[in-house]
Amino acid sequence: MADGPAQLAQMSAAQLRRLIRAGAHRGQTSGLADGFLQANVVILPEEFALDFMRFCQRNPRPCPLVGVSDTGDPMMRTLGEDIDIRTDLPAYNIYRDGRLADSVTDIRALWNDRMVAFALGCSFTFERALRAAGIALWHTDHGTTVPMFRTALPTVPAGPFRGPMVVSMRAIDAARVDDAIAITRRFPHAHGAPVHAGDPAAIGISDITRPDWGDPAPVGAGQIPVFWACGVTPQVALEAARLPLCITHRPGHMLITDIPEDAETPVRVPPDS
């Protein structure tokens, strides 16, 4: 398998994708490819693509759209060199009729010429800026996946896509919460500023020790739980839509792009365009 965390953290985005494509890294991607945009992924049949794009446009905080493939083309040409959406994520979730049916590490056998792939900005992108400012992140320090929760916050529906917003939680020292808000606001393509800070019950979370996705993370003395809109939100909308087949990233296992995280427009112009 892959090298240790220190070696992985030193690799370029392209090197990491090659490692993932070769099957040598199947873990989560938090803390990797500092300075480059990471993305959630949704792949679905073309006949549902326009409604899903509308869902993203209507819900930009949890669904910041940063890339869309051509129909049937697995290469994400506007997000970097040689990015194959079928192989370049550490793990994928397969949904059939709205239910999670499997988790796999390669989707070449499932891809067909009717598929469209969407890339959505990910909060892993702003974590480097938080760490650089001296704001500790428990899940990064302990090699776990950030905790994620269903909330009572609604999304704006589009076609068959609807459902509650999902959020990710990071416990922040009370004295640094305003700093965390200001820092993350600079990354609108990675969910931007938090949607809530403080009492989890105010957004419909009954037990902060039991996340719906990811791993539990403690909220220490003098810390406040801070919640950001999360790219797992589309997975909940996909469950509600009950599509015959759709594919997403496994939470925490993102697509690493070649787009600088501070790019005003997160799109690369392919050389042959």
Cα 156 from Cα 144, distance rounded (Å): 31
Residue 113 shares a structural domain with residue 137: no
Residue 80 shares a structural domain with residue 182: no
Residue 114 shares a structural domain with residue 148: no
Cα 59 from Cα 181, distance rounded (Å): 20
**Residue 10: inside a domain, yes or no?**
yes
Residue 170 shares a structural domain with residue 115: no
19 φ/ψ sector (left φ>0, alpha ψ -120 to 50, else beta)? alpha
102: nearest Cα among 92, 110, 111: 92
**Residue 238: inside a domain, yes or no?**
no
Residue 100 shares a structural domain with residue 58: yes
**Residue 271: inside a domain, yes or no?**
no
Burial class (CB in 10 A: 0-12, 13-18, 19+), 84: middle
Cα 109 from Cα 87, distance rounded (Å): 11
Which DSSP helix (H) or strand (E) runs through 66?
strand 65-68
Residue 139 shares a structural domain with residue 218: yes
The per-residue pLDDT for 252 is 83
Residue 117 shares a structural domain with residue 147: no
CATH number, residue 192 = 3.30.2040.10
CATH number, residue 40 = 3.40.1640.10
Residue 149 shares a structural domain with residue 186: yes
Cα 166 from Cα 163, distance rounded (Å): 9
Residue 111 shares a structural domain with residue 133: no
Residue 22 shares a structural domain with residue 76: yes
Which residues does the chain have with pLDDT short of 70?
Answer: 1-5, 264-265, 267, 269-273
Residue 141 shares a structural domain with residue 79: no
Please write the tens of the pLDDT for every residue from 205-250.
999 999 999 999 999 999 999 999 998 899 899 999 999 999 999 9
The per-residue pLDDT for 269 is 66
**Residue 89: inside a domain, yes or no?**
yes
| Owning domain of residue 148 | 124-233
The per-residue pLDDT for 6 is 72
The per-residue pLDDT for 272 is 61
Q: What's the structural domain count of the chain? A: 2
Cα 71 from Cα 46, distance rounded (Å): 7
